[in-house]
């Protein structure tokens, strides 16, 4: 009997110790924001030209370096999050598709944006 009681107390002790640790780990992972964008001074030439494409073609409707929506959702951390705001996976195919065909209130850019502009743009979006 005393032996059983001891074992039970030990278990309670373990729970008391680990519960706050688990809660703390959940808080850390749950509130983890995406890493900051690459500093502008460190952009490669390709990323810099992608930024110019962003400014000309996307900047009126999307923020890039602050997490605030404009006409559309902010593009900050676009590739660092697993999903786009629509729930589609955040990858080159889906993002290129959105740029070319538009989405709801986002106009289709179609062939007004070249393949090179698109790939430079994606390179810049990956730095965000
Ligand atoms: C005229 C405004 C406008 C312009 C210009 C524009 N967008 Fe959008 N964009 C939107 C709106 C509005 C949405 C939200 C669409 C929705 O899901 O209802 C959106 C959504 C998106 C999404 C999220 C798609 C998803 O699946 O959730 C991406 C990525 C995106 N835009 C990228 C771009 C890029 C890159 C450019 C520049 C080439 C661009 N947009 C230009 C208005 C715009």
> The CATH number of the domain where 61 resides is what?
1.10.760.10
In Å, the largest CA–CA distance within the chain is 81
- Predicted TM-score (pTM) of the model is 0.82
C-alpha–C-alpha distance, residues 128 and 126, integer Å: 5
The CB of 109 under 6 Å from ligand 1? The reply is yes
Comparing 119 with 10, the larger pLDDT belongs to 119
Q: Is 31 helix (H, G, I), strand (E, B) or coil?
A: coil
The CB of 106 under 6 Å from ligand 1? The reply is yes
Let me know if residue 62 belongs to a domain: yes
Q: How far apart are the first and last CA of the chain?
A: 62
Let me know if residue 73 belongs to a domain: yes
Let me know if residue 61 belongs to a domain: yes
- Count: domains in the chain: 1
Comparing 13 with 34, the larger pLDDT belongs to 34
C-alpha–C-alpha distance, residues 124 and 119, integer Å: 9
Task: Return mean pLDDT, the chain.
Answer: 88
The CB of 90 under 6 Å from ligand 1? The reply is no
Residue 27: CB atoms within 10 Å: 10
Let me know if residue 21 belongs to a domain: no
Question: What range does the domain containing 82 cover?
Answer: 40-125
| pLDDT tens-digit series, residues 77-100 | 999 999 999 999 999 999 999 999
């Amino acid at each position: 009997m005393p032996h059983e009681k001891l074992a039970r107390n030990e278990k309670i002790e373990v729970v008391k110790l680990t519960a706050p640790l688990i809660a703390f780990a959940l808080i850390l992972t749950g509130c983890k924001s995406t890493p900051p964008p690459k500093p502008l001074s460190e952009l490669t030439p390709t990323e810099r030209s992608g930024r110019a494409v962003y400014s000309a073609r996307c900047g009126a409707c999307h923020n890039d370096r602050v997490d605030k929506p404009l006409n559309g959702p902010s593009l900050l951390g676009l590739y660092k999050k697993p999903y786009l705001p629509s729930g589609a996976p955040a990858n080159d195919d889906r993002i290129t598709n959105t740029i070319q065909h538009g989405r709801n209130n986002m106009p289709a850019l179609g062939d007004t944006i070249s393949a090179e502009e698109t790939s430079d743009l994606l390179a810049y979006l990956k730095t965000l």
